Amino acid sequence: MLQEKVLLLGYGDIARRLARLLVGYQITGVRRTSPYIPTLDTEVAIRFADCRKLEQMQAIMSEGFDIIVMTFTPTVRNDVGYREAYVDTMCTVLDVLKQQPYRPRLVVFVSSSSVYAQMDASWVDEDSVTAPTHYSGLRLLEAEQRLQNSGLDYCCVRFSGIYGPGRERLIQQVIVGDHSPAEPIIYSNRIHVDDCVGVLAHLIQQHKTQAIDSLYLATDCLPVPIHEVKQWLARQLTLPDNANPTSRSSRGSKRCSNKRLLGTDYQFLYPSYREGYTELLKRRKNL
């Protein structure tokens, strides 16, 4: 039986981790630049290209792929950077796919819970209103909509805040004494990077034998006030948790539901921040 061919557009940390889980697939990863760790990528064919460039994408797509996964990262954190990374790239990829005789069985786009603008601690899911006001959410939602209107078999996966090795911003904030106020309650949502790639691999595999939804909100099982997470981290680090809080009134407050994802029988490696950060803190101690 021929191996299915997977194209990972935006071959960064998440795509590299995903590649290690996709056993039995023929994998090609596309990067803008050359720095990567070849010893970890021996089973992946690496291509260097700008996914916004039509000719470069045509050359790569002509190989024909069964599955395409898009995990883009903006080079600049502003509206122009997000438009180029998500909207412009999505448009180019879709234009090229229209010209190809071979249609992928599944196109996966990694999006974000930033498309939700709720600030009232309400629960949000895949059917909730998306009315982002910040450029990041606006551009991600625009890219989602482009894919939705493409006529392809697709799945958008909205990750909440990703943490894990190399993604330890919250730990650093606690270490320097940057705490959050208990009032007003600001709910936070997160997912460990290992669960990010676990979810993607799970959906790709499940799609081989049954239909999956076109949209999933991927987050762990415990939305929690951000000040509680920081207090817990401070205790684990044996640091005082009574430092002067820094107010972040502009931050959204919502509780993300993973009910639809759990309905696919995905089993979380880290169901809450406690399991995930416990493992992460052990890892830091052993470095």
Q: CA 41, CA 62: separation in Å to the nearest integer?
A: 22
The per-residue pLDDT for 242 is 59
- Is position 228 within any domain? no
Give 1's pLDDT tier (boundaries 50, 70, 90): low
* pLDDT tens-digit map of 129-148: 999 999 999 999 999 999 99
Q: Which residue has the tokens 């044996």?
A: 238
Mean pLDDT for the chain overall: 93
Tally of domains in the chain: 1
Contact 113, 219 (CB under 8 A): yes
Contact 180, 249 (CB under 8 A): no
- Is position 80 within any domain? yes
- Is position 63 within any domain? yes
- Residues spanned by the domain of 152: 5-163+190-219+255-269
Phi, psi (rounded to 5 degrees) for 26: -95, 115
Supply the pTM of this predicted model: 0.94
pLDDT at 100 over 70: yes
- Is position 202 within any domain? yes
Please state the rounded mean pLDDT for residues 17-31: 96
- Is position 60 within any domain? yes
- Is position 158 within any domain? yes
Listing DSSP states for 35-75 in one string gives ---GGG-TTEEEEE--TT-HHHHHHHHTT--SEEEE----S
Q: Which residue has the tokens 């919502």?
A: 254
Give the DSSP H/E element, type plus range, for residue 170.
Answer: helix 169-175
pLDDT at 173 over 70: yes
- Is position 42 within any domain? yes
Give 182's pLDDT tier (boundaries 50, 70, 90): confident
Using DSSP, state whether 13 is helix, strand or coil. Answer: helix
Listing DSSP states for 115-167 in one string gives G----SSEEE-TTS-----SHHHHHHHHHHHHHHTT-S-EEEEEE-EEEBTTB
Lowest-confidence pick of 4-18, 169-183, 231-245: 231-245
Using DSSP, state whether 28 is helix, strand or coil. Answer: strand
Lowest-confidence pick of 19-23, 34-38, 239-243: 34-38
> If we measure between CA atoms, which residue out of 84, 100, 5 comes closest to residue 51?
84
Contact 251, 173 (CB under 8 A): no
Neighbours of 173 (CB within 10 A): 16
pLDDT at 39 over 60: no
- Is position 84 within any domain? yes
> If we measure between CA atoms, which residue out of 115, 6, 119 comes closest to residue 66?
6
C-alpha dihedral sign at 79, 85, 86, 87:
positive
Q: What is the CATH number of the domain that holds 123?
A: 3.40.50.720
pLDDT at 192 over 70: yes
Please state the rounded mean pLDDT for residues 19-41: 82
Contact 31, 48 (CB under 8 A): yes
Q: CA 26, CA 30: separation in Å to the nearest integer?
A: 14
**Percentage of residues of the chain with pLDDT beyond 90:** 86
Which residues are CB-contacts of 52 (< 8 A; sequence separation ≥ 6)?
84, 88, 89, 92
* pLDDT tens-digit map of 199-230: 999 999 999 999 999 999 999 999 999 999 99
